[in-house]
Chains A and B, each alone.
Chain A
Amino acid sequence: MELIQQLVNGISLGSIYALIALGYTMVYGIVKLINFAHGDVFMVGSFVGFYAITVMDLSFISALLISMFTCAIFGVLIERIAYKPLRNATRIAALITAIGVSLLIENGLIYIRGAQPEAYPNNVLPMDKLDIFGVSISSQSILILSVSIILMIILQFVVHKTKIGKAMRAVSFDSEAAKLMGINVNNTISATFAIGSALAGAAGVIFGIYYIKIEPLMGVLPGLKAFVAAVLGGIGIIPGAMVGGLLLGVIEALVSAAGYSLWRDGVAFIVLILILIFLPQGLFGKNKREKV
């Protein structure tokens, strides 16, 4: 039963990874950039949610929406200010910039409010324990999981059924051709950042409620792991990010359950290196070759 308990924890954690990984994968798909600052958008989302709940005394859902909205704007600002001038630069230059943006957000926030952590109040969501087949599952994890799943369903809808979703897919397939077909590439890229960042913001609030403690550097590790999840699923592929996130969460939980909790953070990176070497296109990806 301990094992099932751990699996539930793994899925909850994995759904947070998945939400962050979606932003990574969408941005990579469209501008071929590993947006290092994405983990920090997640962190900012967590703080916005925290202040919305504690200072403005809002409910979970309102805090979630405010956080998503703020992060969407924040994400677009990052893209417009830092990444847009580099659209035709080398990928390495873009990657270095992304690292710079990430460091700037983290240290900027520390500069403004200090490095001390905050604690989410523990009465945001009801804390009932449900007994399912002898496994006690908190109503919180069920709610978190359902929120994540709803967001992912909305995302699938946006990407496949709306005009902006079609534009996003067109730009990620061939941005030059998309431009010639009259698609506004700049706006489409901004929309991608907005959607990805909103999901990261939601993940931030969910993380705060689930794990209580938040601090300015909290985005680094989940951010990197979410990237691993995106690579695991096949970078640029939306369902891949979801599966990759959940899978990574479960793997980590199982490693903890096996008594190696100190190694937990290392597992993600070992998975990453193994995937990159043996299955670089990821679980759902297609192999591409360079044209000579």
Chain B
Amino acid sequence: MTTLKNSKGFWLSIVLALIFFGIMQFSISSGMLNPFYINTLMFIGINIMLATSLHLIIGITGQFSIGHAGFLAVGAYASAVMTMKLELPFIIAILAGGIIAAAAGMVIGIPSLRLKGDYLAIATLGFGEIVRIVLLNIEYVGGASGMQVSHLTTWPWVFACVMITVIVIRNFTNSTHGRACISVREDETAADAMGINTTYYKVAAFVIGAFFAGVAGSLYAHNFYIIQPSNFGFLKSFDILIFVVLGGLGSLSGSVLAAILLTIVTTFLQDYPETRMIIYSLVLILMMIFRPQGLMGTREISTLFTHKKTKGGKKDGSHNTVA
């Protein structure tokens, strides 16, 4: 019965999303939305993809990765090479960006088998920096001066990719495979003892997360006219990390909300980058001290509405189980 109810909510949110898509598409094509807002919309979409893909790695699987900008960079450059150097269609570029980033995810996922917690964090940070330095040294993609990219990212592309990302990550999480990942996060030793191939699921989380970060990178690259290695430093990784932390480690809807909220904040503080970073850093510090579980904790929006009901059930349960 609960599955039926859940899927009802699922289809409702899809319908709502499609309506939102229609309204936005109409506003854009009729010229009601000025380029500034359109651009903000694109960024919101790209950031949702980055936030949810990192959420899978950190929030669900508990692998503290702070090199997500590395996957973004791999996707961005791979897709730019596809369209600009090999003159392939955009859709191929998007897929190639995702797949090549996923391969990078596998490469970084493998050391993660041996590392835990803060050591893994530093290793992934190092990985992100290595990606940046490698790109800096490849003449084929323009080195430090970067690479010219044509503007191909449009609202329908962004919308479609965001929807696919969120649905795939949601479906993965709400299955036995997602539970396996969560068990790794909760207690790796116990997960192992319960027959979970922890290595496999850690790498799987990195590969899937990196794939969508790479797809986001393709959209990101083709939303600009130029990409440079300096766009993908660890500050970018921290930006993405903040979405996940603010939203609540373990909450998909929390990551989405945080990505929307912070992208809007960023847009309004575009001309005051230090102010933005001061706000970000204060949010991080205060959050960890006063509400380390983030805005949503591990809950999802859908559970907020059904909260009352489960509470009632709980009381019933505790009464008749003494034996």
A and B touch in the complex (CB under 8 A): yes
Measuring CB to CB, which residues of chain A are less than 8 angstroms from any residue of chain B? Answer: 34, 82, 85-86, 89-97, 99-104, 106-108, 110-111, 115, 224, 227-228, 231, 262-263, 265-266, 268-270, 272-273, 276-277, 280, 290, 292
Which among A89, A100, A262, A272 has the highest number of chain B CB atoms within 10 Å? A100
In the complex, B87 has a CB within 8 A of chain A:
no
- The prevalent SS among residues of B at the interface is helix
User: In this assembly, does B125 line the interface, its C-beta being within 8 Å of a C-beta of chain A?
Assistant: yes
Q: Flag whether B15 is at the interface (Cβ < 8 A).
A: no
Which chain A positions have C-beta within 8 A of B287? 96
Q: Which residues of B contact A86 (CB under 8 A)?
A: 288-289
- Chain A residue with Cβ nearest B276: A107
A268 to B123, CA, bound (A): 11
Given A100-B285, A276-B119: A263 in contact with B137 (beta carbons within 8 A): yes
Q: Which of A95, A103, A263, A273 interacts with B133 by CB under 8 Å?
A: A263
Q: Are A276 and B121 in contact (CB under 8 A)?
A: no
Chain B residues near A292 (CB-CB < 8 A): 189
- Could you tell me the distance in whole angstroms from the C-beta of B55 to the nearest C-beta in chain A? 14
0/1 per residue, B254-292, Cβ < 8 Å to A? 000000000000000000011101101111110111001
Contact A101 B281 (CB under 8 A): yes
Complex Cα distance A77/B168, Å? 45
In Å, the complex CA distance between A29 and B246 comes to 29
Which A residues lie within 8 Å of B118 (CB)? Answer: 34, 91-92, 95
CB distance from B57 to the nearest CB of A (A): 13
Does B158 belong to the interface (CB within 8 Å)? no
Question: How long is the Cα–Cα vector from A102 to B117 in the complex, in angstroms?
Answer: 19
The answer to whether B80 has its CB under 8 Å from any CB of chain A is: no
Q: A280 contacts B114, CB within 8 Å? A: yes
Task: Please report the C-alpha to C-alpha distance between residue A119 and residue B129 in the assembled complex, in whole angstroms.
Answer: 27
A266 touches which one: B121, B134, B278 (CB < 8 A)? B134
**B281 cross-chain contacts in A, Cβ below 8 A:** 99-104, 107
Contact residues, B97-128 vs A (CB, 8 A): 111, 114-115, 117-119, 121-123, 125-127
Distance, CA A265 to CA B126, complexed state (A) = 10
Q: Which residues of the other chain, B, contact A104 by a CB distance below 8 angstroms? A: 278, 281-282, 285
Q: How far is the CB of A230 from chain B (nearest CB, A)?
A: 10
B191 is an interface residue with CB less than 8 A from chain A: no
Identify A276's interface contact among B66, B123, B283, CB under 8 A: B123
B114 pairs with A276, CB closer than 8 A: yes
What CA separation (Å) do A13 and B134 show in the bound complex? Answer: 23
B interface residues (Cβ-Cβ under 8 A, vs A): 64, 66, 111, 114-115, 117-119, 121-123, 125-127, 129-130, 133-134, 136-137, 189, 238, 241, 245, 249, 273-275, 277-278, 280-285, 287-289, 292
Which B residues lie within 8 Å of A115 (CB)? 274
B130 contacts across to A, CB distance below 8 A: 266, 269-270, 273
Query: Which residues of B sit under 8 angstroms from A224, Cβ to Cβ?
Result: 125, 129
Cross-chain contact B126 with A272 (CB below 8 angstroms) = yes
Complex Cα distance A106/B66, Å? Answer: 19
3 A-B pairs with least C-beta separation: A100-B284, A269-B126, A103-B281
Complex contact B119–A96 (CB within 8 A): no
Other contacts beyond A91-B118, A273-B111: 10, CB < 8 A = A82-B285, A86-B288, A89-B292, A107-B277, A111-B275, A111-B278, A115-B274, A262-B133, A266-B134, A269-B126
Residues of B within 8 A of A111 (CB): 274-275, 278
Tell me how far the C-beta of B129 lies from the nearest C-beta in chain A, rounded to whole angstroms: 5
Nearest Cβ distance between residue A131 and chain B, in whole angstroms?
Answer: 36
A67 and B121 CA atoms in complex are apart in Å by 31
20 contacting pairs across A/B (C-beta < 8 A): A92-B249, A93-B292, A96-B287, A99-B66, A103-B277, A103-B278, A103-B281, A104-B281, A107-B274, A111-B278, A227-B122, A231-B119, A266-B130, A266-B134, A272-B122, A272-B126, A273-B123, A276-B114, A276-B115, A276-B119
Residue in A closest to B115 when the chains form the complex, CB atoms: A276
* Complex: chain A residue closest to B244, CB-CB: A96
User: Which B-chain residue is minimally distant from A100 (CB atoms)?
Assistant: B284
User: Which residues of B are found within 8 Å of A92, using beta-carbon distances?
Assistant: 64, 117-118, 121, 249
Task: Please name all residues of chain B whose beta carbon is closer than 8 Å to the beta carbon of A102 when the two chains form the complex.
Answer: 281
Instruction: Specify the chain A residue showing the minimal Cβ separation from B290.
Output: A85
Q: Quick check: B278 and A277 within 8 Å, CB to CB?
A: no
A259 to chain B, nearest CB (A): 12
A87 to B273, CA, bound (A): 31
